[in-house]
Amino acid sequence: MRTQLLLAALLGSVNAIRIIHANDDGWAELYTRSFHEALLAAGHDTVLSAPAENKSGTGSSDAEPSPRTTACQYNSCAPSNAPIGRNESSPRLNWVNSFPLTSMRYGIDVISPSFWNNEPAELAVSGPNVGSNLYAQVHFSGTVGSAVFASKERKIPAIAFSGLTGGTLAWNTTPVPTRSLVYAQVASKLVDAVVAAGKPYLPEDVFLNVNLPKVEGECTDASKYKFVLSRINLGVFSQKDVAQCGSDRLPMEAVVTGTKGCYVSVSVGDANDKTTASADKQKIVRDKLQGLFTCLP
């Protein structure tokens, strides 16, 4: 029995990887903390590096962190006159007193190396954002901005997650509401699918922009969620998309998340301009995750 348990543990950790995690709503936001816990539960070696406070809508802004002279959001850290800090009882939880992109940069370059014996992050994730990041919102999103930085500047495959059900919540909210748990479970499922598909997880200079529908009705059950390959921007003047579900034009993200049936939009984004990536890069992602995607009704 002991041998069987050991084998199960070893098999369960085969796909465990080093993940750097950021967001734009703040290091103590519940959606992010729930996702962090889900990644750890899945066996991943995850380090959180996020802003000391809510920095939504700051896009790709970047500035060296300044000394923190007031408490972090939700009183989650005391004034310290330090530019970065961490939860001493859970040192994988780190704050950076600057923008989301800066938090990702510091997480990759400064904070995570000590956890991983100077090995690099294998995957970067951001979010889930409290609220959507669809179409034009993408360009202003700090959640997206941090993921794009990881992909473009550090060549780390990256995924930005956003949940349409809004409402900020403190990290220590009890009981943890269904929406936070569901988003964490569904986001973790996609991460595991990307990892299971093998390296390279994504094409170079690509990020995934993922929007999860509202947690209501049947969508309070994580097992009901289905993933649909989508696009970020309008395709009126764009080249054809990868052929999918009988069409060479992928559905817009808002169409996917607005369709009844718990559909998650997964767009292959170009990290150079935050628009939809080319059909050849879409195809790579589609083929790697071919068992994951479904078609809209």
The answer to whether position 59 is within a domain reads: yes
pLDDT attached to residue 58: 97
Count of structural domains within the chain: 1
Residue 9 lies in a domain: no
Categorize the per-residue pLDDT at 15 as very low, low, confident or very high, splitting at 50, 70 and 90: confident
- How many angstroms separate the CA atoms of 116 and 47, rounded? 10
Q: Among the options 132, 141, 162, 180, which is catalytic?
A: 162
Residue 219, domain member (yes or no): yes
Distance CA 222, CA 239 (A): 34
- What's the confidence (pLDDT) of residue 9? 39
Q: Residue 236's pLDDT band (boundaries 50, 70, 90)?
A: confident
Clarify whether 162 is annotated catalytic. Answer: yes
How far is residue 226 from each of residues 164, 287, 291, measured CA to CA in Å? 15, 17, 11
**In a domain? residue 2:** no
Establish if 251 belongs to a structural domain. yes
What residue numbers bound the domain in which 246 lies? 17-288
Q: Is residue 91 part of a domain?
A: yes
Per-residue confidence band for 238, with pLDDT thresholds at 50, 70 and 90: confident
Query: Which phi and psi (to 5°) does residue 65 adopt?
Result: -65, 145
Q: What is the pLDDT of residues 141-156, one digit of tens each?
A: 999 999 999 999 999 9
The CATH number given to whatever domain includes residue 159 is 3.40.1210.10
Q: What pLDDT, on a 0 to 100 scale, did the predictor assign at position 4?
A: 33
70 against 3, higher pLDDT: 70
> Model confidence over 35-92: pLDDT tens digits?
999 999 999 999 999 999 999 999 999 999 999 999 999 999 999 999 999 999 999 9
d(CA 273, CA 150): 14
pLDDT at position 183 over 50: yes
- 209 pLDDT higher than 70: yes
Is 3 a residue whose pLDDT tops 90?
no
Q: Is 192 a member of any domain?
A: yes
